[in-house]
Amino acid sequence: MKGEPKTIDLPTILAVEATDHGFYEGAPGPAIGPRMFGGQAVAQALLAACQEETHDRLPHSLHAYFLKAGSSDQPVSYRVTTLSEGRSFATRRVEGMQDDTMIFSMIASFHSPETGFEHTSPAPFDLDVSAAIEALDRWRERHSQANASPIVDRLQKRPIEIVPLDPGALFGAQAREPRTGVWMRMREPAGPDPLLQRALLAYASDMMFLRNAMLPHAIRPGSTKVQAASLDHAIYFHETPDFDHWHLYATESPWAGHARGLNRGHFYDESGRMVATVSQESLMRPKGEALERMRSA
């Protein structure tokens, strides 16, 4: 419909193309701020590593480092190296390059499906996405200025639909407990491919995440009071998600200090099944008056 924001075709953006043996290229994508979005690098690198898999193994964990700020208007070349390969597990290293500069490094581990003991922690929030949508609509009616916020405009154009449990934590500027939850799903169905579905979750896992460590300090990403960036990112895939449907991303920050903040979270589907665990350390370096106040305290 004319006037509605155009959403991004995420499966197309994340797809990688083989350029040589062990080399793949990922297309440019939308920026969040002036840089390439970290979740895109994680997802593209994961799909590149998956291209080297010749058995029935699925990625069960990854550990990534953001080495340099990437450009959102340039493709990324990914080099995949298999470090080990056995009957059950395989481990691969992925290096992302732009203009002969390494901007990203990741190690991913793959595991064949097996039967084993099971337990899981329950979701820390109510699993009622309809109630969250209604609460968000009521909050927007009471806070009309939120609809003009740049972050609202960006989120409406993102391929992942987001419904926060606490809209004030997402859109507001007041101090909050370092604990949030958001519902997420694809705006357009992507299909059942388990590798793509894990890549979609990897992309989404870098959204609304590093802000947790900033919430108690009444700052948000993009504030002039802080220089913020993701430093690393780890994901443990417990199950294959179906990101065509709603998933709750329950996140928290147990620690911040020394200009860094630690964030961790779990993804749950609507039945309460935990499908993935994520952790990340972020840069949150005070700037300007905020830094001067800390130095003089």
Please identify which of the residues 230, 242, 253, 282 carries the catalytic annotation.
Answer: 230
- Residue 145 is a catalytic residue: no
Q: Please name the residue ranges forming H helices in 113-269.
A: 129-142, 150-157, 167-171, 194-204
Angstrom CA distances, 238 to 41, 60, 214, 278, stand at 21, 7, 28, 11
Amino acid at 13: I
Compute the CA torsion angle 146, 152, 153, 154 (nearest 10 deg): 160
Q: Which residue has the tokens 């939308």?
A: 30
Q: Are strands 31-32 and 35-36 parallel, antiparallel or unpaired?
A: antiparallel
Query: Does the annotation mark 280 as catalytic?
Result: yes
Residue 77 annotated among the catalytic residues of the structure: no
Using CA atoms, how far apart are residues 199 and 251, in angstroms rounded to an integer? 19
DSSP code of residue 160: E
Per-residue buried b or exposed e for 174-188, using 16+ beta carbons within 10 Å of the residue's own CB? eebebbbbbbbbbee
Residue 221, Cβ neighbours under 10 Å: how many? 17
CB contact at 8 A, 209 and 264: no
How many other C-beta atoms can be found within 10 angstroms of the C-beta atom of residue 226? 21
Residue among 206, 253, 269, 282 flagged as catalytic: 206
Annotated active-site residue in 40, 44, 109, 280: 280
* Angstrom distance (rounded) from CA 244 to CA 86: 32
Active site residues: 206, 230, 280
